[in-house]
Structure 1
Amino acid sequence: MKDSRYRSVVKTLSYRLIAIAITTTVTYILTRNILLSASVGGLDSLLKILLYYIHERMWAGVKWGRIFDSIDLKQKP
């Protein structure tokens, strides 16, 4: 059983929405500068979306720790 690329993208984006809100809020609290906060939040998210997606796809190929149903064993890779 493997996750689809679409599932990985959706998981990545949902996680990043939460993270961008936290990063932007903390930056704003520290700087009181909305433009800087938005810039830091945006750049941080773009980089982390890319890195998380790569990380997720690498882990999708690792069989360690997965539990397969008997139906999964009958499917071709």
Structure 2
Amino acid sequence: MLLDQSIKKWFVNNKGKDSNLKSFLKSISWRIVGTLDTMVISFFVTGQLVMAISIGSIEVVTKIILYYLHERAWEGVIKIEKNEPDKQLA
């Protein structure tokens, strides 16, 4: 019981929201699940374990790079500030 409460403090902030650590660990676990899924599908398609592991290994790297590029592209989208007046109405 005492251990449960101290661990909970790592994963939930004082407002009841997920902590950065929890979000980071969830991101890592989701990437692991995604890569394992790719390996299983690759194994079913190819029937070769070594090929499935190779595809999964490449997939980890390419998905990280693609995600980074995706995030940078979205960051480049024009942002409308809350206090900025609507230029179309002026």
- Percent of pairs identical after alignment? 31
Structure 1: which amino acid aligns with 2:31?
A: R
Task: Flag the structure with larger Rg.
Answer: 2
Runs of 5+ consecutive residues of structure 2 not aligned to the other structure: 1-23, 84-90
Equivalents in 2 of 1:26, 1:67: separation in Å?
44
Normalised by the length of structure 2, the TM-score is: 0.47
Cα RMSD of the aligned pairs, angstroms, is: 3.2
Runs of 5+ consecutive residues of structure 1 not aligned to the other structure: 1-9, 71-77
Equivalents in 2 of 1:44, 1:63: separation in Å?
31
Structure 1: which amino acid aligns with 2:39?
A: T
2:77 aligns to what SS in structure 1? coil
The answer to whether the 8 Å contact 1:24/1:41 transfers is: yes
Matched, 1:54 2:41: no
Normalised by the length of structure 1, the TM-score is: 0.54
The answer to whether the 8 Å contact 1:24/1:38 transfers is: yes
4+ residue stretches of structure 1 with deviation over 3 A?
Answer: 10-16
Greater RCO structure (CA 8 Å; 6+ sep): 1
Q: How many residues align?
A: 60
Deviation sequence 1:23-70 (CA, Å, 0-9, x none): 111011122211110001111221121011111122134245x896x8
Equivalents in 1 of 2:34, 2:63: separation in Å?
10
Matched, 1:43 2:58: yes
Matched, 1:30 2:45: yes
